[in-house]
Amino acid sequence: MDDIIAYLHADDHVFLIPNAANTAEVVRRLRAAAPDGITVTDEHEAYAVLAVQGPRSAELLGALGLPTWHGYMSFSAATLDGVELTVCRTGYTGELGYELLVPAEHAVAVWDALFTAGEAAELRACGLAARDTLRTEMGYPLHGQDLSLEITPVQARSGWAVGWDKPAFWGRDALLSEKAAGPRRTLRGLVAVDRAIPRSGMTVHAGDAIVGTITSGTFSPTRKEGIALALLDTAAGLAEGDTVEVDIRGRRATMRVVRPPFVQPSVK
């Protein structure tokens, strides 16, 4: 349903962050399944998330007196100019990265503080599209494109994130069956051989046969070439190093099958 991040504050307090577009459905499902004594509250509009990503992200937050010492996929409570916030160390770029969970009414003030500190350190703010190109370079799946109700974690090579030993969870029987039989399609990496920029939804061909679909595609700012994640049919028998063709607005562009990441990650 969603690749939720859960922050455990206490045994009786869990703060969940779903993808924004999935919030209503996640709340509906959790409320319907919650046992007596468990309350699920929707605080989607009560918080903003500000992402500070990159090799100098700890330097920037440190200049504001915010904590940066905590480990990967953990969080720490903090205060900035009287505003209580949470500093999460998640990132989605393959580099060091933090997310600030800020009460919505203070989001502009915290943004301004980050922006001012960034200017002083000759760092620039950028849009979410930049993080999308970087996560694609890492081969990180995006929910709604590379993961969805139609694209299972088995197909997306995200089975490592599934609690296979749990006795019950939504979709367990279907996923176990798919894992045992082998998925009919698998998320693979593609690198452009020709000058081409693949995009989501484009078809992948092997000779005269359609063998897959691009789920995420972009121009890699690091490699300076087109890269993509694509769901390729298992029956096509494609292996790393094989070439395929992608239909880019009626023109066939040659791409090579690879195993992500496209760029070596440096997050620790």
pLDDT > 80? residue 183: yes
In a domain, 165, yes or no: yes
pLDDT for 1 equals: 85
Q: Are residues 25 and 78 in the same domain?
A: yes
Confidence tier at 41 by pLDDT (50, 70, 90): very high
| Long-range contacts at 195-202 (CB < 8 A, ≥ 24 apart) | 195/226, 195/253, 196/226, 196/246, 196/248, 196/251, 196/253, 196/255, 197/226, 197/248, 198/226, 198/227, 198/228, 198/230, 198/246, 198/248, 198/253, 198/255, 199/248, 200/145, 202/246, 202/247, 202/248
Domain's final residue, options 77, 105, 136: 136
Q: Among residues 136, 151, 182, which one ends one of the domains?
A: 136
Output the 3-class SS for 182-219.
CCCEEEEEEEECCCCCCCCCCEEEECCEEEEEEEEEEE
**Res. 128 pLDDT band, cuts 50 70 90:** confident
pLDDT per residue as tens digits for the range 139-167: 999 999 999 999 999 999 999 999 999 99
Domain shared by 146 and 219, yes or no? yes
Q: pLDDT averaged over the chain?
A: 95
Q: Are residues 157 and 194 in the same domain?
A: yes
Say yes or no: 52 and 171 in one domain. no
| CATH number, domain containing residue 47 | 3.30.1360.120
**Count of domains in the chain?**
2
Residue 263, in any domain of the structure: no
Say whether both 85 and 143 belong to one domain: no
At 260, is the pLDDT very low, low, confident or very high (cuts 50, 70, 90)?
very high
Residue 264: inside a domain, yes or no? no
Neighbours of 200 (CB within 10 A): 17
Judgement on whether residues 17 and 98 belong to the same structural domain of the protein: yes
Query: Domain check: are 230 and 193 in the same one?
Result: yes
Residue 108 lies in a domain: yes
Give the mean pLDDT of 242-258. Answer: 96
pLDDT beyond 70 at 268: no
Q: Does 67 lie in the same domain as 44?
A: yes
Q: Are residues 111 and 164 in the same domain?
A: no
Residues 82 and 143 in one domain: no
pLDDT digits (tens, 9 = 90+) for 77-116: 999 999 999 999 998 888 899 999 999 999 999 999 999 9
CATH number at residue 221: 2.40.30.110
Same domain, 132 and 145: no
Residue 250 lies inside a defined structural domain of this protein: yes
Judgement on whether residues 90 and 14 belong to the same structural domain of the protein: yes
Question: 127: pLDDT confidence band, cut at 50, 70 and 90?
Answer: confident
The residue among 112, 136, 160 that closes a domain is 136
pLDDT given at position 92? 86
Domain that holds residue 220: 138-258
What CA–CA distances, in Å, run from 62 to 56, 58, 91, 108, 134? Answer: 10, 6, 17, 19, 24
Is 79 part of a structural domain of the chain?
yes
Q: Does residue 171 sit within a domain?
A: yes
